[in-house]
């Protein structure tokens, strides 16, 4: 069933949330677009002008590492003042309802945590763009000092161990974080309500999670502005502005 009337959509969603004992909210870029964070696929997305450097090029070529950091900071400037939106606050409230509830996200903007969602219940499948890590030893680095040094020298940062320091996001060709993926799969299997919100549901293996939940008898509800390939699997599809749909749950 596809619902586009706002009151009908909100009532159906509220009923499903109220009846659930363990909820997974799976989020994509559509949750953050109202916050000023550009999505990857839209026609005028800055990600198209400044695409991330593939992982194999990053590790193979110093010039590519330098270019990766130049693009990283240019993109950061575009959404540096982004703050959580209605969807983030709604899902933070959802996580607070039950310690078994969790948020699985494809986003790298850290806005779920900023909105108040417990960090230990936010599972980031594609990493986090608000800090960096050494690819060799895993040491965490904050971005502000890296940027100061990079803008002064033009050289890509190196860790004290000699490893390459990279934004803590998952680049094309980089292995998925297996611990995060395993936690996401466990959550999908255990939940009784899986909410797919703001995701095109085309990027795998993350896009397999709604089907995994459905196969283990969870109710599947999709909230998105456009049609997705998994709409036919869902019990309900709520189509419209994500912030508008989730507004009643945000306060």
Q: Are 27 and 251 in contact (CB under 8 A)?
A: no
DSSP-derived 3-state class of residue 222: strand
Q: Are 85 and 249 in contact (CB under 8 A)?
A: no
Spell out, as residue ranges, where the chain has pLDDT lower than 70.
1-6, 39-47
DSSP-derived 3-state class of residue 193: strand
122-124/127-134 β-pairing: unpaired
CA 131 vs CA 49, 145, 167, 180: distances in Å: 22, 11, 6, 17
Pick the closest to residue 146 from 163, 158, 138, 161 (CA basis). 158
Q: How many CB atoms lie within 10 A of CB 234?
A: 21
Q: Is 126 a catalytic residue?
A: yes
Structure token pair of residue 195:
């909410």
Q: Are 46 and 38 in contact (CB under 8 A)?
A: yes
pLDDT of residue 70: 96
**How far is the C-alpha of 142 from the C-alpha of 5, rounded, in Å?**
44
pLDDT in tens, 88-126: 999 999 999 999 999 999 999 999 999 999 999 999 999
Catalytic residue among 88, 112, 126, 216: 126
CA 43 vs CA 1, 29, 39: distances in Å: 29, 14, 10
Query: Any idea which residue has 């677009």 for tokens?
Result: 33
Q: Are 41 and 107 in contact (CB under 8 A)?
A: no
pLDDT of residue 1: 45
The helix, strand and coil proportions of the chain, stated in percent and rounded to the nearest 5, come to 45, 20, 35
pLDDT of residue 81: 84
pLDDT of residue 60: 97
pLDDT of residue 10: 86
pLDDT of residue 220: 98
């Amino acid at each position: 069933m596809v619902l586009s009337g706002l009151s009908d959509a909100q009532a159906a969603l509220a009923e499903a949330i109220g009846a659930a004992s363990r909820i997974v909210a799976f989020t994509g870029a559509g949750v953050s677009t109202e916050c000023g964070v550009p999505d990857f696929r839209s026609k005028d997305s800055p990600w198209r002008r400044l695409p991330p450097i593939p992982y194999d090029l990053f590790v193979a070529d110093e010039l590519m590492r330098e270019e990766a950091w130049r693009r990283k900071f240019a993109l950061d400037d575009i959404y540096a003042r982004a703050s959580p939106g209605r969807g983030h606050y709604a899902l933070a409230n959802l996580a607070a309802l039950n310690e078994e509830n969790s948020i699985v996200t494809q986003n790298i903007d850290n806005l779920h945590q900023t909105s108040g969602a417990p960090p230990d219940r936010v599972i980031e499948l594609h990493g986090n763009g608000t800090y960096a890590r050494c690819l060799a030893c895993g040491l965490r680095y904050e971005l502000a000092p890296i940027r100061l040094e990079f803008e002064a020298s033009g050289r890509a940062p190196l860790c004290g161990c000699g490893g390459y320091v990279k934004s803590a996001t998952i680049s094309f060709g980089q292995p998925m974080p297996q611990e995060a993926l395993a936690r996401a799969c466990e959550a999908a299997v255990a939940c009784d309500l899986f909410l797919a919100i703001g995701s095109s549901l085309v990027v795998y293996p993350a896009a397999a999670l709604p089907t995994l939940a459905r196969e283990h008898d969870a109710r599947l509800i999709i909230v998105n502005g456009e049609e997705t390939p998994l709409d036919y699997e869902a019990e309900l599809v709520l189509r419209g502005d994500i912030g508008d749909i989730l507004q009643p749950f945000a306060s």
